[in-house]
Structure 1
């Protein structure tokens, strides 16, 4: 059995938020807007007037916390106590994730409005969970994706380029994480579809990503920027839209989750930690030095962390690598099907070696 979860509509175009009301009114007329102060400032001259013109009333709920089960429960109660018929999440990944989770719990349709292109949260039927200290506690699968995702490329192009880089890192990893799980049997069709979609995203980012990264910050919507944001929001989202019977080992994301338990990484973004995890994964796979070098240099072009120090960790690499490896959690059935060995020792060695290679790349010295 294959389950497909995707938005009913995904619109990626400049100034779409100025026309957002006409799309949202068909979904609901009493909206709970979950957002942050910066995100609201970014859309107040476009989305809010459009909602008013379309006859959609709204109540603002500011959210700047961590996506915990308690926070989801609290916001869900607020949503149920009101007379809302739609939830609109406006902001980055955490705001969109909690908006989707509240919609899932209350049965209300969700509209996502990303203000940064840092993850595929605007599309996915998944919420990443944390504890009060910001440490990853797992994932909450949702019954469905948002009904509508509105990606205003003019707004996204004005965001700091660091967020775009994070989204690029989080998307590049999709191909590397899916390809290692591919098996030639009828029950893995979902993984094979995901792999080919992820490959397209990787090819687009290799061609257009560096150009879009250089163009970001200025609010200019160029062909390369459109291609890049579609890869991050649409294609990366599509990779996770299909799920079947086979379990998958998301190694780079598992390393990311372990890294969230290190307070030193608090100021790094999701895609930044994932990027380091990706480089560690290809080392773990035993890829050639040339392939590892090329990937590391590509990540470095986007300013993504490829050393422990860039993640904020300054203690001895060998020691911290063991602690990171100990915190990596992967599904055993998927690990047993991999073509390379994955355990605490091999993970620790790969993480330490990644730090060495990363330092060499940043210093332009080959190890």
Structure 2
């Protein structure tokens, strides 16, 4: 019996795309770009210039469809340009990348990622989140391997709207706390233990550099704290996603997100924003009050959610919200019994703490 693990490779920096020919040409000569409209607009000129003097030809630029759904993935799988390409270049944010990654996996084609925002670890992980056509959460789709290489152009990401970096920080904050929570009572093998060790510096780096990174992003500047932050969001958390069993990797913070997708007006909030609230909830549930207060203070400075109102969950929706959280598929991995009653208790305690604070966003 054996276990094979594919880990991500990446190039990061202001000139990251210059490495595309050397890294991609061994896989063929024809590439098709699948991405978001804005992402492709931002990356197109730089990417085209990078391959202009090489044997590599970009044969088409194709919009991914707007959401990660089976319908959009199947449309791309039947697209003539996609079928004829030797490789797929995935360009844009998380949903565009996940759609392209799932398409490549179904067609057994190599995929390379070109994130234009730093909102999650999609560029380097094999996991894809697939949604239903109505926008609600559908399923986790696990590709056979992550992208062959991620090209992280820090200049493009520094010029992206600030909300994406803020959401990326919120999403990445969950890795350390969720992995620890769901794996706590288990004896871990080498792969999971390695992933857990990596997860333990995710939150520390974000809490240290995150506010400076947001300040740099507001000025569209690539600084050392900015690079530390986006690489923590993309690479560190991606490694955890690949190494740690998803039963440990997804816990209460993401259960909050999945529950929120079942309620109206979820489209007003980014994935990472909701997860950021979920981190506060998880730490409150786990009675990790000192850590909760540190993350709360950070969220306040960063402009991330602090309470139910910030994610548009009102009293009328609270019963359904907590009931869905209590049915999370990974809840049985928690280190103790988690049910709707103690979920409500933790939410109430977090609301009371929020009310006791000066809630002026810095």
Q: TM-score, normalised by structure 2?
A: 0.91
Q: Aligned match of 1:339 in 320, 335, 339?
A: 335
1:195 Cα deviation after fit: 2.0
Structure-2 separation of matches of 1:309 and 1:186: 39
Post-superposition shift, 1:88? Answer: 0.5
User: What whole-Å deviation, never above 9, does each CA across 1:296-329 have from its counterpart, x for those lacking one?
Assistant: 111222111122222233x32xx42221122224
Q: Structure 1, residues 5-35: CA drift from partner, whole Å, max 9, x if none? A: 322x211111212443333223232112112
- Cα distance in structure 2, aligned partners of 1:27 and 1:215: 36
Aligned match of 1:21 = 21
C-alpha separation in 2, matches of 1:358 and 1:28? 55
Distance 1:162 1:361 in 2: 24
Question: Which residue in 2 is equivalent to 1:171?
Answer: 172
Which moves more between the two structures, 208-217 or 147-156? 208-217
Q: Residue 91 of structure 1 corresponds to which residue in structure 2? A: 92
* Whole-Å separation in 1 of the counterparts to 2:27 and 2:356: 53
Question: How has the CA–CA distance of structure 1 residues 196 and 187 changed in structure 2, closer, same or farther, with 3 Å as cutoff?
Answer: closer
Task: Say whether residues 1:320 and 2:293 are aligned partners.
Answer: no
Counting only pairs closer than 5 Å after superposition, residues 231-250 of structure 1 correspond to structure 2 as 231-243=232-244, 250=251
The 3 A distance-change label for structure 1 pair 74 and 352 is farther
In 2, are the aligned partners of 1:79 and 1:106 still within 8 Å (CA)?
no
Contact 1:20 1:50 in 2 (8 A): yes
- Does the CA-based 8 Å contact 1:117-1:167 persist in structure 2? yes
Residue 187 of structure 1, CA deviation: 4.0
CA-based RMSD of the aligned residues comes to 2.3
CA deviation after TM superposition for structure 1 residue 261, in Å = 1.5
Contact 1:321–1:349 (Cα < 8 Å) also in 2? no
Q: Is the 8 A contact 1:187 1:246 kept in 2?
A: no
Q: Which runs of 5+ in 2 are unaligned?
A: none
Query: Structure 1 stretches of 5 or more lacking a match?
Result: none
- Runs of 4+ displaced beyond 6 Å: none
1:201 aligns with 2:197: no
C-alpha displacement at 1:243, in angstroms? Answer: 4.4
CA contact under 8 A between 2:185 and 2:335: conserved in structure 1? no
Partner of 2:132: 131
Q: What is the CA distance between 1:117 and its match in structure 2?
A: 0.4
Partner deviation per Cα, 1:101-120 (whole Å, 9 max, x = no partner)? 00110000001000000000
User: Which is worse superposed, 274-283 or 180-189?
Assistant: 180-189
> What is the match of residue 330 of structure 1?
328
Instruction: Tell me: CA distance 1:2–1:254, structure 2 relative to 1, closer, same or farther (3 Å).
Output: farther
3-state DSSP class of the match of 1:159? Answer: coil
CA distance in 2, matches of 1:217, 1:137: 34
> 1:252–1:280: 8 Å Cα contact kept in structure 2?
yes
Q: Partners of 2:189 and 2:338 in 1: how far apart?
A: 21
The alignment partner of 2:11 has SS state of: strand
TM superposition score normalised by structure 1 = 0.90
Q: Which moved more, 1:184-193 or 1:268-277?
A: 184-193
Matched pairs, number: 358
Summarize the Cα distance change of 1:260–1:50 in structure 2 as closer, same or farther, 3 Å threshold: same
Query: What does the per-residue CA deviation read over 1:117-149, in whole Å, with 9 as the maximum and x for residues that have no partner?
Result: 000000110100111121111211111100010
Give yes or no for contact 1:5–1:242 (8 Å, CA) kept in 2: no
SS in 2 for 1:330: coil
Going from structure 1 to structure 2, the CA distance change for 1:300 and 1:3 (only over 3 Å counts) comes to farther
State whether structure 2 residue 346 is matched by structure 1 residue 350: yes
Deviation at 1:338, TM superposition (A): 2.9
